[in-house]
């Protein structure tokens, strides 16, 4: 009798489990929520695919599902999605998208396959928000700042400034601090760092920028020291690219250079580069502020501020870039400090910490800066 009850109980449990499974599956279909390896998917899209371990959905299938306007430029392969007053431009094989003319980053990047653009499943949540309201903040995955190019100014026959009291030569000072900066950054984080020069050689300004551009750099830091006729002037100042710079001509050059190295055609639009360079200027200013504040606080330096400039090496870079003037070799007190190994090490350390502060803020903002400055 006990055995018979046990058999009946097990049969009932199997029936309950089956019914529960049906209800769970039905609830998932009704809610439209399907769990995938790559992230968020709202619908069970038939064309879903996996690239490098991440789930992707064809952009056209998504747009057709929600009756959203979507077109793809035959030349640049840039997709333009329009809905509810919003315009989203998506570049295959690029982490950059344009959201209502503002540069935003997507990770992992969209993929072009068989003339179709696939977007990461994690990006669909943001696209679906277009159905509800005006876009304000995009849905993006965290991007880590990793690649940094450090540019020791001058070199070779181009000596740079020379100290009036101790004969400190700028080209040697810049290289020494740049190498120390690389060491300090490697202590603080997992960075991939390249120097534009590692010896006493002169590198043309255009080539320095090209090195950074080819390296697909996240940040560019140019190291210099200053000099003026008035020897009482001293302090730290940091420069970023001026807003008076012609961004369109820069964008055309960047698009042409990218087209030579990128056969996918995803990044050779001047409009794309103009928007990206505009965003880079904001990020450069923020980076300069972080370095300046940290250095002035740590080294008790006079703060000469963050300034806009037309420096060629900044003008030609395609990423956030700053030029650091460590101090004035024309000032006796600062030259004496700058000829000291320990002070150079302190300068390198405080610049590295400023970069780290910027990186942390940048990554907490999920890869972009909402500052309107």
pLDDT digits (tens, 9 = 90+) for 169-189: 999 999 999 999 999 999 998
Q: Which residues contact 114 (CB under 8 A, 6 or more apart)?
A: none
Of residues 108 and 194, more confidence is placed in 194
Domain ranges across the chain: 2-31, 35-129, 147-364
* Phi, psi for 173 (deg, rounded to 5): -60, -45
- How large is the average pLDDT for residues 333-350? 96
In this prediction, residue 32 carries a pLDDT of 33
Of residues 134 and 350, more confidence is placed in 350
Indicate if the pLDDT at residue 321 is higher than 50: yes
Sheet holding 147-152, edge to edge: 192-195, 147-152, 219-226, 321-328, 236-241, 303-309
Q: What is the DSSP string of 16-69?
A: HHHHHHHHHHHHHHHHT-EE-SSSEESS--TT-EEETTEEEEEHHHHHHHHT-E
- How large is the average pLDDT for residues 359-372? 58
In this prediction, residue 259 carries a pLDDT of 61
Q: Are 242 and 69 in contact (CB under 8 A)?
A: no
Of residues 38 and 348, more confidence is placed in 348
In this prediction, residue 44 carries a pLDDT of 67
Across 154-168, 294-308, 309-323, 352-366, least confident range: 352-366
Indicate if the pLDDT at residue 29 is higher than 60: no
In this prediction, residue 354 carries a pLDDT of 95
Question: On the CB side of 86, how many CA atoms lie within 13 Å of its CA?
Answer: 23
In this prediction, residue 143 carries a pLDDT of 60
Residue 371 confidence class, pLDDT cut points 50, 70, 90: very low
311: its two tokens: 């420096």
- How large is the average pLDDT for residues 305-329? 91
Indicate if the pLDDT at residue 157 is higher than 90: yes
Dist. CA 90–CA 295, nearest whole Å: 39
- How large is the average pLDDT for residues 220-229? 94
pLDDT tens for residues 110-144?
888 888 899 888 787 777 776 665 544 444 445 67
Indicate if the pLDDT at residue 276 is higher than 80: no
In this prediction, residue 46 carries a pLDDT of 79
* Most confident among 85-89, 227-231, 335-339 (mean pLDDT): 335-339
Residue range 35-129 in CATH 3.30.457.10: yes
Indicate if the pLDDT at residue 327 is higher than 80: yes
Dist. CA 342–CA 352, nearest whole Å: 15
Residue given tokens 């994690």 in the structure block: 122
* Cis-peptide into 108, omega within 30 deg: yes
- Is 278 exposed, middle or buried (CB count within 10 Å of its CB: 0-12, 13-18, 19+)? middle
Dist. CA 174–CA 326, nearest whole Å: 9
- How large is the average pLDDT for residues 333-360? 95
Same fold, 35-129 and 147-364: no
Domain topology for 147-364: Aminopeptidase (3.40.630)
In this prediction, residue 43 carries a pLDDT of 59
In this prediction, residue 268 carries a pLDDT of 58
Averaged pLDDT score across all residues of the chain: 79
Indicate if the pLDDT at residue 339 is higher than 90: yes
Indicate if the pLDDT at residue 18 is higher than 60: no
For the chain, give percent helix, strand, coil, nearest 5. 40, 25, 35
Beta bridge partners, 89, equal 80, 98
Across 19-28, 29-38, 288-297, least confident range: 29-38
Q: Which residues contact 1 (CB under 8 A, 6 or more apart)?
A: none
Percentage of the chain exceeding pLDDT 90: 38
């Amino acid at each position: 009798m006990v055995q018979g009850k046990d058999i009946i109980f097990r049969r009932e449990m199997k029936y309950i489990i089956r019914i529960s499974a049906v209800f769970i599956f039905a609830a998932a279909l009704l809610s439209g929520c399907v769990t995938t390896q790559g992230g968020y998917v709202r619908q069970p899209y038939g064309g879903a695919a996996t690239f490098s371990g991440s789930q992707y959905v064809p952009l056209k299938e998504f747009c057709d599902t929600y009756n959203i306007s979507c077109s793809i430029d035959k030349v640049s392969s840039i997709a333009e999605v329009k809905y509810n007053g919003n315009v989203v431009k998506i570049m295959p094989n690029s982490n950059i998208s344009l959201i209502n003319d503002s540069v935003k980053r997507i990770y992992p990047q969209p993929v072009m396959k068989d003339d179709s653009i696939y977007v990461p499943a994690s990006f669909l949540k943001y696209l679906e928000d277009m159905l509800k309201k005006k876009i304000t903040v995009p849905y993006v995955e965290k991007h880590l700042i990793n690649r940094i190019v450090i540019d020791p100014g001058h070199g070779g026959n181009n000596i740079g400034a020379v100290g009036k009291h101790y004969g400190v030569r700028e080209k040697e000072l810049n290289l020494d601090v740049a190498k120390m900066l690389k060491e300090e950054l490697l202590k603080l984080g997992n960075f991939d760092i390249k120097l534009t020069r590692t010896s006493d050689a002169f590198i043309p300004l255009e080539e320095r920028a090209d090195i950074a551009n080819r390296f697909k750099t996240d940040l560019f830091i140019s190291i210099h020291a200053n000099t003026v006729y008035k020897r009482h002037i001293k302090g730290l100042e940091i420069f970023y690219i001026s807003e008076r710079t012609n961004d369109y001509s820069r964008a055309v050059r960047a698009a042409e250079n990218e087209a030579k190295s990128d056969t996918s055609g995803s990044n050779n639009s001047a409009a794309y580069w103009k928007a990206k360079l505009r965003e880079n200027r904001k990020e450069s200013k923020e980076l300069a502020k972080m370095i300046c504040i940290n250095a002035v606080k740590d080294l008790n330096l006079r703060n000469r501020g963050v300034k806009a400039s037309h420096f060629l090496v900044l003008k030609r870079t395609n990423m956030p870039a700053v030029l650091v003037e460590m101090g004035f070799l024309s000032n006796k007190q600062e030259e004496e400090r700058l000829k000291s190994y320990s002070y150079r090490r302190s300068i390198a350390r405080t610049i590295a910490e400023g970069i780290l502060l910027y990186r942390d803020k940048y990554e907490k903002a999920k890869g972009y800066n909402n500052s309107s400055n």
